[in-house]
Amino acid sequence: MAGTPTHCPYCALQCGMTLHDGGSEPVRVTPRDDVPANAGGLCQKGWTAAELLTVPDRLTAPMMRRGRAAPLEPCGWDEALDRITAETGRLRDLHGPDSVAVFGGGGLTNEKAYQLGKFARIALGTSQIDYNGRFCMSSAAAASGRAFGMDRGLPGPVTDLASSGAVLLAGANVAETMPPFMRHLTRMREGGGALIVVDPRRTATARQADLHLQPTPGTDIALANGLLHLALAEGLADEEYIAARTTGFDAVRTVANAYWPDRAERITGVPVPLMREAVRLLARAARAHVLTARGSEQHARGTDTVSSFINLALALGLPGREGSGYGCLTGQGNGQGGREHGQKADQLPGYRRIDDPEARAHVAGVWGVDPGDLPGPGRSAYELLSALGTAGGPKALLLFGSNPVVSAPDAAAVEERLGALDLLVVADFVPSETARRADVVLPTAQWAEESGTMTNLEGRVLRRRRAVRPPDGVRTDLEILAALAERLKAPGKWSTDPRAVFGELRRASAGGIADYSGITYERIEAEGGVFWPCPSPDHPGTPRPYLDRFPTPDGRARFVPVEHGGAAEDVDADYPVYLTTGRVLAQYQSGAQTRRVRPLAEAAPGPFVELHPDLAGRLGIEEGAGVRVESRRGAATVTARLTGAIRSDTVFIPFHWAGEGRANLLTNPALDPVSRMPEFKVCAVRLLPLPVEGDGAPGAR
């Protein structure tokens, strides 16, 4: 059976898979070996992805709440869309266009992300649009932009890693978050290369590393500066490269001089011999990579943290060399493309700044509106969510492809803000925790029921192909946006055909940093994907963007001096333990998808706290016991999991579950001043053992 070639609905590796529609039989998944990212491999989530198509609580009809305390009840499409149009119109008349906000997602196709940004700005006229990708890799995007003039995930195809001599992963647990990625690192190690992992936990990835650096949470800048100090002291910096291809090194050298080995060890807890070995492995490899991920980025100083690792990579002469470089491991399925085409508060399609007059004129010309009618920058994701229902804040929110009740920091406060809205509209294919709080729920098609494009962590634009028809009563996001735009009498064209929308996206992106104008569906299919920027039909695409020059005004990469400042919230006598959060193998993001897939729910059935046996012993906590974890923002009830794989001053809770086990009831919404990324990765907590119930089961269960 030939089947339909497409890509996995989960992470940014975008593994290739084929879907086989058996008619009366369930859809079957087989891996594709013609996609370099996974080359025939899939993880447990990919193998079970087709089960998403038949989850028991699939939404197949619009739902509406007829009164604040009334339950959600089925209604017709016209009734739902008319109510949205009437209420948003009323609010805009009373309070202005910014009284209506839009929130998107990093899993939306390029076409949907583009159309959502266009809808917000010219159908609603609002500046209040952002998306959950702000919680994903915005710090790496900001740091890459100021260092290289461009934000592109990896510096080349993922297959380059196999021939690397050393790879440093900072804050990345790819063995669980994107398992097929590991095969490239395994090939590297089989060829004699070394894997260095920076993580406070001895994760599944760290267990496969040649070297594991285990810093205190919130001290990555001190670690990277300490590594740079050692590189300079041992004469391992590439002075010729620094002189020819960079600027600003003297200021960074001055900062690094203050992070002598003993001081770096005292701040980070990482022994000097391990730091010295890491630097030597990177510097002596003919090809090497420094890669960061959420563990380095999700901090109130996340942009500076990433900059510190970029400084190390630049000092060693890695960026812009074929087979080497700095890169960021994008998280969500379309985390790269999702932020390039206009659903981010400060950007227009093509990665253009919304406050740039030339960018506004170009995009307005494509949309057929006056540039002066386009709104300016809006609030970032958490600032937008925390302003909902407040004086001067949005009174209505239209939400596509996100579940902030589980995924946002300080989640209880966000849930309260959602409850203060006059109107909450959620478009989703399941009743997520956020959808259950909505006034109107719109049932949408999901990944295998629609066509479009996705941009993976390499910057490679790929085709998502429709394999099955959506259930009766379900519409695509493009159809929903077009219907609302028509009711709102929005200017311009609002196609429901992904190919036509992509054609408009190409024109809107032309000349921008993320130029897709030379990419077509036909080229993607013929070439197995096309790397942006691709400014013309005869352009080959750009798999390695920095080989000749960096896209900065002078063509040079920029060093940026950064100092260690610690976490926004440090431990103290009342909250003496660090909390860090993250993911587990069998679950994904807020869990709205994976918690509904039986094999995944069985593999990872509920929330837990991972803590060191020494800490557990001091607190009187036993394996499997119920634990109440408290921060200054709230409390979560979870089950204890004792392991020597974590520091004794740190605990870990995955963030995939809803209810009383939500990790994000605890997390700190302190924002990075540049990227506006919240500090998900470190806050101060205390742990309290819960009494065991009469049947012997812990109170948390």
The residue ranges of DSSP E strands in 193-286, in sequence order, are 194-198, 211-213, 246-247
Does the domain spanning 139-328 belong to CATH 3.40.190.10? no
DSSP 656-700: ---GGG-GGGT-EEEE-TTT--EETT-EEEEEEEPPBPTTS-BTT
Architecture of domain 63-135+337-531: 3-Layer(aba) Sandwich (3.40)
Residue 641: Cβ within 10 Å count:
17
Q: How confident is the model at residue 694, as a pLDDT?
A: 54
CA distances for 313 relative to 249, 325, 516, 559, angstroms:
12, 7, 28, 10
Q: What is the pLDDT of residues 36-78, one digit of tens each?
A: 999 899 999 999 999 999 999 999 999 999 988 899 999 999 9
* pLDDT category of residue 24 using cuts at 50, 70 and 90: confident
Q: DSSP secondary-structure letter at 116?
A: H
Residue with tokens 């431990």: 571
* pLDDT category of residue 195 using cuts at 50, 70 and 90: very high
Residue 572: Cβ within 10 Å count:
9
Chain length of the chain: 701
Task: Note whether 134 and 381 are within 8 A (CB).
Answer: yes
Q: How confident is the model at residue 335, as a pLDDT?
A: 87
Architecture of domain 4-54: Single Sheet (2.20)
Q: How confident is the model at residue 239, as a pLDDT?
A: 97
Share of the chain above pLDDT 90, in %: 94
Q: Is the pTM of this model over 0.75?
A: yes
318-321: long-range pairs with CB below 8 Å, 24+: 318/282, 318/288, 318/289, 318/290, 319/148, 319/155, 319/546, 319/550, 319/557, 320/245, 320/546, 320/547, 320/549, 320/550, 320/557, 321/287, 321/547
Position 6: which residue type?
T
Instruction: Tell which residue, 86, 83, 122, 118, has the closest CA to residue 104.
Output: 118
Q: How confident is the model at residue 481, as a pLDDT?
A: 98
Q: How confident is the model at residue 693, as a pLDDT?
A: 67
H helix runs in 96-219, sequence order: 110-118, 138-148, 174-177, 182-190
Q: What is the pLDDT of residues 282-292, one digit of tens each?
A: 999 999 999 99
Is pLDDT at 7 greater than 50 in this prediction? yes
Residue 57: Cβ within 10 Å count:
8
* pLDDT category of residue 696 using cuts at 50, 70 and 90: very low
Residues facing 527 on adjacent strands: none
Domain locations in the chain as residue ranges: 4-54, 63-135+337-531, 139-328, 577-689
Q: Which residues contact 500 (CB under 8 A, 6 or more apart)?
A: none
Task: Note whether 396 and 87 are within 8 A (CB).
Answer: yes
Q: How buried is 78 (Cβ within 10 angstroms: 0-12 exposed, 13-18 middle, 19+ buried)?
A: exposed
Q: DSSP secondary-structure letter at 469?
A: P
Q: Which CATH class is domain 577-689?
A: mainly beta
Is pLDDT at 697 greater than 90 in this prediction? no
DSSP 73-86: EE--HHHHHHHHHH
Largest CA distance in the chain: 73
Q: How confident is the model at residue 428, as a pLDDT?
A: 97
Task: Note whether 200 and 185 are within 8 A (CB).
Answer: no
Instruction: Tell which residue, 551, 562, 106, has the closest CA to residue 303.
Output: 562
Is pLDDT at 322 greater than 70 in this prediction? yes
* Count helices and strands in the chain by DSSP H and E runs: 23, 30
Instruction: Tell which residue, 546, 602, 545, 49, has the closest CA to residue 333.
Output: 49
Token pair recorded at residue 638: 């979870």
Q: How far apart are CA 111 and CA 500, in angstroms?
A: 9
Measured distance between the N- and C-terminal CA atoms of the chain, rounded to whole angstroms: 45
Q: How far apart are CA 359 and CA 580, in angstroms?
A: 39
Is pLDDT at 92 greater than 90 in this prediction? yes
Q: How confident is the model at residue 269, as a pLDDT?
A: 97
Q: How confident is the model at residue 137, as a pLDDT?
A: 84
DSSP 3-state percent helix, strand, coil across the chain (nearest 5): 35, 20, 45
Q: How confident is the model at residue 22, as a pLDDT?
A: 76
Share of the chain above pLDDT 70, in %: 99
Mean pLDDT of 97-122: 97
Residue 361: Cβ within 10 Å count:
13
Token pair recorded at residue 680: 């998900």
Q: Supply the mean pLDDT for the chain.
A: 96
